Amino acid sequence: MLPWNFSENLMSHSASMNFKFISTMDTAPWGGSELLWSETAKSLVKQGHKVSASVHGWPSRAKEIEQLLHFGVNVFERKPVSPSWFEAIGRRARLVPSRDLTALAFDHWLANGRADLVCFSDGRVVSNIGWGEKCHKLGIRYVNLCQANSVCFWPPDSVIYEKRKFLKSAERCFFVSQNNLRLCEFQIGEHLPHAEVVRNPFGVPFDQQPSWRATGEFELELACVGRLEPVSKGQDILFEVLSEEKWRNRSIRVSLFGDGSSANSLKSLGRMLGIENRVRFCGHVSDVREIWKEHDALVLPSRHEGLPIALVEAMLCHRAVIATDVAGNVEFVEDGQTGFLADCACPKSLDTAFERVWNSREKLREMGLEAGRKIRRELPPNPAEVFGSRLLEIARS
């Protein structure tokens, strides 16, 4: 059991603190990796603290950024900065040295209004070593929050020293799963005694009551929830399994929920494999509970993860989980008790797990109820408040 019971009064009636969050997310305007830092930012503002955030700038803002601004978080968007006409002429005449104006704008934001603590929210492990060095030169303490890890992110020797220094210089290194932390220590070749595991927020009530779908066209309805990105989420592995003759002859269907950069290629793959009648593309659903009104279990064929929010939400909705044995999946899915684990992210292993699911389909509701009990033993009801309290404790130490 993790020590979730931090003091609830760390922030009460004390001096206001100044926090800065820096998100490295640059592949999409928003994603699940952004939930913890953004909800924590809101929680700290609500408590009377000054909070600002730096995010990658997009042509169109995500609605979540608008909500942060409305809530009182000062947001700096890292967008390309063009030189003035005077500087542009000077550059062409080689009278003015070329400068990265976007980096200079970020440096000004970081140095302006000295922060008591900076929190890097990273979709990998140390995406930008230079930012830690900037904090060090400014005398600003920082923590690092790692949202995902993979052996595919293994750093080469050319940067291993700098990454190790970045992590060791942090006040704390936070990971969303124990396995991601362990892998990071293997990657840098050193233990991180100041590392901790934290949990992401979720989008369903903590006290969600169980409900089940009515009998439908298919005997088994599975949901695959996550961005449409095979390189990480492994939907191609799922499709390959479903294309096998034995699954074509069984009453099973998988619905994909989410958006992503590979939606069209996955649809083409489905047509090529001839499984259009067994796979549905349902897009994004704002209320996750609507998914579980019509589906029996969650399937996650991921190649790498942190701790999938989709997994947490499915278990909170009393659903069993079929997942690959990566990252945080194995920390929550007890094989044969709360779901089924595929040994690795490959068709053979996922097919074996599917076979066990099919043979145990009458027990899925019972397993879902146990999944609901399991997840509530392991998670705090308000992860962002817990993380915010932890940041306050570090900032004041």
Distance CA 51, CA 74 (A): 7
Report how far residue 22's alpha carbon sits from residue 41's, in angstroms, rounded to the nearest whole number.
11
Contact between 33 and 123 under an 8 Å Cβ cutoff? The reply is yes
Q: Give the Å distances, CA to CA, from 64 to 37, 39, 81, 124, 192.
A: 12, 10, 23, 21, 33
What pLDDT is stored for residue 15 in this prediction?
A: 84
What's the Cα-to-Cα distance from 17 to each of 8, 51, 52, rounded to whole Å?
Answer: 16, 8, 11
Q: What pLDDT is stored for residue 11 in this prediction? A: 41
Q: Whats the size of the chain, residue-wise? A: 397
Specify the fold of 18-201+382-396: Rossmann fold (3.40.50)
Short-list 339, 340, 331, 342, CA closest to 369 = 339
Contact 147, 121 (CB under 8 A): yes
Digitized pLDDT (tens) for each residue of the chain, 397 residues in all:
344 444 444 444 468 999 999 999 998 899 999 999 999 999 999 999 999 999 999 999 999 999 999 999 999 999 876 656 555 554 555 554 555 567 889 999 999 988 999 999 998 889 888 999 999 999 999 999 999 999 999 999 999 999 999 999 999 999 999 999 999 999 999 999 999 999 999 999 999 999 999 888 999 999 999 999 999 999 999 999 999 999 999 999 999 999 999 999 999 999 999 999 999 999 999 999 999 999 999 999 999 999 999 999 999 999 999 999 998 999 999 999 999 999 999 999 999 999 999 999 999 999 999 999 999 999 999 999 999 999 999 999 9
What is the pTM for the complete model shown? 0.89
Tell me if residue 288 falls in helix, strand or coil.
coil
| Two structure tokens written together for 62 | 């995500």
Task: Provide the 8-state DSSP code for 123.
Answer: S
**Using CA atoms, how far apart are residues 188 and 172, in angstroms rounded to an integer?**
16
Q: Residue written as tokens 């947490």?
A: 312
Rounded to whole angstroms, the Cα distance separating 17 from 315 reads: 36
Q: Do domains 18-201+382-396 and 220-378 have the same CATH topology?
A: yes
Domain ranges of the chain: 18-201+382-396, 220-378
Token pair 């076979």: residue: 355
CB neighbours of 317 closer than 8 A, spacing ≥ 6? 204, 208, 210, 288, 289, 292, 372
262 to each of 30, 217, 234, 268, how far by Cα in Å?
16, 28, 11, 10
| Listed residue (35, 313, 19) closest to 147, CA to CA | 35
Ramachandran quadrant class, 353 (left: phi over 0; alpha: psi -120 to 50; beta: rest) = alpha
Q: 14: which residues sit within 8 A by CB, 6+ positions away?
A: 396
What's the CATH code, domain 220-378?
A: 3.40.50.2000
Distance CA 333, CA 315 (A): 9
Residue recorded with tokens 């130490």: 397
